[in-house]
Amino acid sequence: MLIELNNISKNYLMGKVVVPALRGVNLEINTGEFIAIMGPSGSGKSTLLHILGLLDKHTGGKYKLMGREISELSDDEFAVIRNRFIGFIFQDFNLLARLNATENVALPLVYSDRAPSGETKKPVELLENIGLKNRTQHRPNEMSGGQQQRVAVARALVNNPHLILADEPTGNLDSKSAGEIMDILKKLNDTGITVIMVTHEQELAMAAKRIIRLADGSIVADEEIRKSPAVVPKIQSRIDEDLAPTGLNLFRIKNYFDQAFRSLLVNKSRSFLSILGVLIGVGSVIAMLALGAGAREDIKTRIASLGSNILMVRPSSTRMGGVAIETGTVTRLTAEDALKIKERVPGVSKVASYVSGRGQVVHKNKNWNTIVIGTTYEYPSMRASQPAEGRFFTETETITRAKVAVIGTKVATELFGNTNPLGEFIKIKRIEFLVIGVMPQKGSSPWRDENDQVFIPLNTAMYRLLGKDYIDYLDVQVADNKIMEETGEKIKELIINLHRLKKETANIDIRNLSDIQETISATAKTFSWLLGSIAFISLLVGGIGIMNIMLVSVTERTREIGLRKAIGANKKDILFQFIIEAIVICLVGGIIGILLGTVATISITKFAGWAMKLSFFSVLLSILFAFIVGLTFGFLPARKASLLSPIEALRYE
């Protein structure tokens, strides 16, 4: 026995009112029968067919299909049975408009655990067998109603079903096409396939071998017109297979992506707007991260020019009688202090002394007011500032008070323009200096423009130019970053002893440039992430737009979802289908956004002159985030689609 129904009932809840559709239906159907179910509208014939096809669940009673009680099976197990054992033919065909005839027929194979290697060959053969040899590549809108219904018949047969369920299969056809469809159903029944058909027409019902009549949800007549032939041996009489849902395979995943791209192409304008939101977000992420990375690199370069493990030692201002005294008034640092610090303080590797003042620099008929700095030969190595052109002065030139100068790029531009300044003479306060080098390009510090400076030997500055017998401040380089604080205390203690100062009133200011560098670096990193966060927000907004579009798509494609479930798609299939569509939108937008962000980065760097650095990390992060956005914002619409009841989805208008 193929089907056994025992006291089957089905109730619908209309508000708070329970409406019975089937009342205690008892029915036995043997393999190989051709049954017509008839009755007036509202009699429950379609409801009975839907329960027989596992598109709907009965409220009460027991249902055995091929010897197996199925009442307690899950929705996914129902989907497996529909795919393996049942074929559906609907009144309105339910063909997918974006697929051709062959692809529509092959659709149940997507959800089958059978080897899909012949997924093209078999559908084509089925179409040829029912007279559609010349229509295999045509879409539904290119075929007549009769041809569309033949495609639906071929789709119902592609998985070799035991049972064909036809719901008003000729309702939308002319008499000639209706006759052709009925002939196909008869031939299928002659091969041993059980056919159950719902119809209003007595003439069509007479083609069946048995007529069941319903009224008010109950069977009122069961008439056998003629005997069914012996059961064809190849038709199994029991469901003896594992009904666990089939897992993902390459064919199924390929179909998910194929359907996703087709869906995008069908709704081009809507897809474009969805992709636009994502590509703007991804492009912004890449451009902002490139800007932040460029800023960090620029700051690192500038910080490197400050040197590593540097302690800046200078006399600070003090107060006497409530009045602030000028910096250095009480304590004056000397060149001797620098020598003592290097000799007596453990961990000190280098010391550079400085004096500074402003001066008018003249070359021929050009002049420029700039900062003049006197320092020692160790300055370039301590401050990572080796001259870009020429050289720095030597220890001998410092001791002998040589009149040589190394100028900054700003000074070089103002005095020499595009000509080479090396070997030229400049005058500083009417004293001639030979230009022996040009400093590397630097940025501006909080105190001054690092490019607008002239460096001369310390002794030359003190005794020939500025008239100072003291130094303004010292740079002390410490060998190990871990002892910076300890070394600073020892330097302060040494200066107090050398100058016989009171510890509590000593006005010595020691600044740890490493701490300043770390603070600046942390600030730059925070700024970079802030820019990136702003861009990520735009990507999230794009994701919300995708969720909205996908919710609309689920609503528009509700009948398609019902069809897919009817032919064997389970909840995970529908879930993956719509999630992948959302991911495809994000990935397409992400790839275009990468190109847009790259072009924007290159353009800004070239035309605006901003420091920007495009990194593989930012590209990878952007595309990964786009994927996550698609997955996250596509999940809710996909889950909504996966939870739809097959029959409710098929009935959706």
* pLDDT tens readout for residues 94-108: 898 888 999 899 888
The confidence score (pLDDT) of residue 267 equals 75
Given a cut of 50, is residue 117 above it in pLDDT?
no
Return all residues near 497 (Cβ < 8 A) that are at least 6 apart.
Answer: none
The average pLDDT across 411-436 equals: 94
- Residue 87, CB half-sphere, CA atoms under 13 Å: how many? 26
HEC profile for 247-316?
CCCHHHHHHHHHHHHHHHHHCHHHHHHHHHHHHHHHHHHHHHHHHHHHHHHHHHHHHHCCCCCEEEEEEC
The confidence score (pLDDT) of residue 228 equals 61
Q: Are the C-beta atoms of residues 596 and 279 closer than 8 Å to each other?
A: yes
Given a cut of 60, is residue 237 above it in pLDDT?
no
Phi (first) and psi of residue 326, to 5 degrees: -55, 145
Given a cut of 50, is residue 115 above it in pLDDT?
no
First-last CA distance in the chain: 37
Given a cut of 60, is residue 441 above it in pLDDT?
yes
Distances 184 to 85, 88, 191, 330, 582 between C-alpha atoms, Å: 19, 14, 11, 113, 41
The confidence score (pLDDT) of residue 13 equals 83
Treating both helix axes as pointing N-terminal to C-terminal, what angle do 558-566 and 75-85 enclose, rounded to 10 degrees? 70
**Overall size of the chain counted in residues:** 653
Helix, strand, coil percentages in the chain from 3-state DSSP, rounded to 5? 50, 20, 30
Please give the order of strands across the beta sheet that includes 60-65.
17-29, 3-14, 60-65, 68-69
Q: Is 111 helix (H, G, I), strand (E, B) or coil?
A: coil
The confidence score (pLDDT) of residue 302 equals 62
Given a cut of 80, is residue 530 above it in pLDDT?
no
In whole angstroms, what is the distance from residue 246 CA to residue 232 CA? 28
Distances 116 to 77, 109, 197, 561 between C-alpha atoms, Å: 21, 7, 30, 22
Two tokens, residue 402: 């040589």
The confidence score (pLDDT) of residue 120 equals 52
Two tokens, residue 544: 């919300």
Residue (of 528, 523, 524) closest to 285 by Cα position: 528
Given a cut of 60, is residue 85 above it in pLDDT?
yes
Q: Using pLDDT thresholds of 50, 70 and 90, give the confidence band for residue 246.
A: low
The confidence score (pLDDT) of residue 383 equals 82
In whole angstroms, what is the distance from residue 293 CA to residue 283 CA? 15
Burial per residue of 329-359, b for 16 or more beta-carbon CB atoms within 10 angstroms, e otherwise: ebbebbbebbebbbeebebbebbbbbbbbeb
| Average pLDDT of the chain to the nearest whole number | 83
Least confident span in 56-60, 110-114, 314-318: 314-318
Q: Which residue has the higher pLDDT, 29 or 531?
A: 29
Q: Which residue has the higher pLDDT, 61 or 589?
A: 61
Q: Are the C-beta atoms of residues 219 and 39 closer than 8 Å to each other?
A: no
Given a cut of 90, is residue 66 above it in pLDDT?
no
In whole angstroms, what is the distance from residue 141 CA to residue 100 CA? 10
The confidence score (pLDDT) of residue 427 equals 95
